[in-house]
Amino acid sequence: MPEGVLAVLRELERADEETGTALADLDRLAGDVDSVRARVDELAAFAARLPAEGEARAAELERSRAEASAAQRVLEEAEAVLAAGPENVQEAERFRVRARDRASVADRRVVAATKAAEDLENRVAEATIEGHELHGRARKLAAELRGRPRIAEDAGKEPGPGLDGVEAWSEVARASLSVARGQLSAEREAVIRQANELGALALGEPLSAMGTSALMRRVEQALG
């Protein structure tokens, strides 16, 4: 009966829409989990590089300070020679100019090395703050996943401490979301297939696969 067919198709259309909404929500959650995990990986890589980078910055700063100290001693020596009234004043003046240029370059290197060391310290501080923020984001996502159908119980548990805890939780959450999405996708395909089979039966003709909304409109039009 036309009304019976339309009623069933409406139910299938509604089920399709609900499943589509649920899939979009899972995709959003999966994207958020992936975003957190990506930043965790980047912070972990930074932490792994930090000892070597810190040593390099400290060594460069020490080296530049030693060069600046040596250049300053040479400059003081050149100024002392010039002040003593040497026989060759021009040569003494050239010696002082070269010493002053060397000292200036060395001072700039100290400034640059100091800034590089300070920048690294700032990056460490920022990474620490971001690590806490990522842990907070992970806790909120875990709360969203908690108690959801098809989602593993461990995915809804609060992540363990530190970046390692967030990384371990994200693995569980990503796997659980992938499984849930696969289940929902299969259910949606079954709904669409059922609707198309019913539509073909109602119209008495084979149909190429189409979405439930388009199918509903076509059957409604055909059945009046």
The secondary structure of residue 17, as a DSSP letter, is: H
Give the rounded percent of residues in the chain with a pLDDT score beyond 70.
99
Phi first, then psi, for residue 47 (nearest 5°) are -65, -35
CB atoms within 10 A of CB 66: 12
Q: How many domains does the chain have?
A: 1
Closest to 17 (Cα-Cα) out of 222, 214, 220:
214
The domain spanning residue 31 has which CATH number?
Answer: 1.10.287
C-alpha–C-alpha distance, residues 155 and 170, integer Å: 8
- Given a contact cutoff of 8 angstroms between Cβ atoms, the answer to whether 174 and 30 are in contact is yes
pLDDT digits 0-9 by tens, 86-144: 878 888 889 999 999 999 999 999 999 999 999 999 999 999 999 999 999 999 999 99
Which range of residues forms the domain containing residue 168?
2-223
pLDDT digits 0-9 by tens, 180-194: 999 999 999 999 889
Task: State the pTM of this model.
Answer: 0.79
